[in-house]
Amino acid sequence: MLRRKWLYIGGTVLLVGGPIAWKAYAGPTAADLAFTVETVRRQDVKESVTANGEIQALSKVNVGTTVTGEIKQIHVKDGQTVKAGDLLVTLDQERFKQDLNRADLSLRMAHQDRDNAEAVYRKQQGTFQRQEALFKQELLSLDQYQDAKLARDNADIAFQRAKVAVQQAEAQVALSRDALDKTVLRAPMAGRVTGLKAEKGEMAIAGQTSIAGAVLMVISDLGEILAEAKVGELEVSKLRLGQPAEVQVDALPGVVFQAKVFNVASSSDRGQNQSLFGGSNQEPQNYKVRVILRGDRADLDRLRPGMSARVAVLANEIKNTLAVPLQAVMEREDRSGGLGLMPRTRTTVFLVKDGTAEERTVRLGASTRRTAEVLEGLKEGETLITGPAKGMNGLTAGQKVKLAKAGAAK
């Protein structure tokens, strides 16, 4: 009997205390929360696009070679300023000198062969002219005349071939001399050596810049400095030439460079990242955006290509427009219209009218990290629910809401 009594008391506690305990564990519902509000008002909206990048020179040249050879001497140091035409690198010239000597010998022999062929041709031409005169006087047979003509024609052919051989030998000399000249590398433009990659005794490789040894150094014209950043496909459409920007460089804390958009890539830097079936992958793509820096010359001279930078471009600025805080904006799935197969999103906010929540569909324009321009759906002076987020997620239209006291934390 006593045991049955305790079971009865325990069951009553579970029935009464269980829901209370669950409510305490689950937290307050939307109906229990006090919501913060804000009045829809006009303000300035500055929409910006930010991205990470690096410092680059506006003009730079990868110095390489079109001939392969051992590096005998490097005449500059990393960071050195050079003028156009200054001596940079000398390669081993011995093999190229021997090639030029052989080409010169071949050219001399070709000249001799041409002179001999010309002498033979002139002799055969004179013989043919005499034989032709005798043939016209009927003092020479047809066979003798034809033999003389054939000998003249063969001599002419040999002479023409000899002249072509001279031209080929001259071309070979020019190529050999050009190859020898290219063993001496000179600065193609004025600037600073910003990437010396070569060492004395290494092999300079003729070829594409992706091959090790093909790029010996980089010369950069640091008169104009830019920052190159990669911007995602969702934001690159907001950018255009001439937009103002600001750039911060990690190496110069506290310094903000003013800048201007100089170039926006028309295609992504996807490269060869294609699917096996010829289609592109579905990963978000990045686009290169370059901005030219302006600022104090002393600060600009402290910059070096490759330094990390943070770029912020002012993509749009709207004065005195209706704006709402982004924390009040929610995206709802909407499959109305069309076939209803592809989900769409509907942008909504909640207003408070007479203590009741009212859902409103809005159309937004430019946005910052905190606010967004309102194009349609709201009027100035309306009361907008801004938080808390855990309560807004469960908020429904027509629901009675309790407002937080003025000055309460949002």
Shared domain for 35 and 105, answered yes or no, is no
Beta carbons within 10 angstroms of residue 172's beta carbon: 18
Instruction: Provide the token pair at 313.
Output: 């471009």
Amino acid, res. 213: G
53 and 230 in contact (C-beta within 8 Å)? yes
294 within 8 A of 223, measured Cβ to Cβ = no
The pLDDT of residue 147 is 93
Give the residue numbers spanning the domain of 346: 29-45+321-403
User: Residue 407: what pLDDT?
Assistant: 53
Domain boundary among 160, 181, 202: 181
Whether the Cβ atoms of residue 45 and residue 323 lie closer than 8 Å to each other: yes
Assess if residue 390 is contained within a domain.
yes
- Tokens 């690198």, residue located: 89
Domain count, the chain: 2
What is the bridge-based pairing of β-strands 344-353 and 286-294?
unpaired
391: domain CATH number? 2.40.420.20
Cα separation, 207 vs 180, whole angstroms: 17
Measure the CA–CA gap between 217 and 82, rounded to whole angstroms: 12
Q: Is residue 356 part of a domain?
A: yes
Q: Report pLDDT for 29.
A: 58
Residue 314 is assigned to a structural domain of this protein: no
Q: Which of 157, 181, 205 is the last residue of a domain?
A: 181
pLDDT, position 229: 95
Q: What is the pLDDT of residue 395?
A: 86
Q: What is the pLDDT of residue 389?
A: 83
* Alpha-carbon span 82 to 199, nearest angstrom: 18
37 and 115 in a single domain? The answer is no
Domain-located, residue 226: no
pLDDT in tens, 2-28: 455 444 445 444 444 544 444 444 455
Per-residue pLDDT at 106: 96
Tokens standing for residue 102: 């052989």
- Model confidence pLDDT, tens digit, residues 87-120: 999 999 999 999 999 999 999 999 999 999 999 9
Same domain, 35 and 108: no
How buried is residue 322: exposed, middle or buried, by Cβ count under 10 Å (0-12/13-18/19+)?
buried
Q: Is residue 141 part of a domain?
A: yes
- Domain annotation covers residue 6: no
Q: Determine, yes or no, domain membership for 244.
A: no
- Residue where one domain finishes, among candidates 119, 151, 181: 181
What pTM value is reported for the model?
A: 0.64
Same domain? For 118 and 41 the reply is no
Note whether residue 371 is domain-resident: yes
Q: For residue 212, what pLDDT is reported?
A: 57
Which stretches in the chain have pLDDT values below 70? 1-32, 207-213, 270-282, 337-338, 340, 406-410
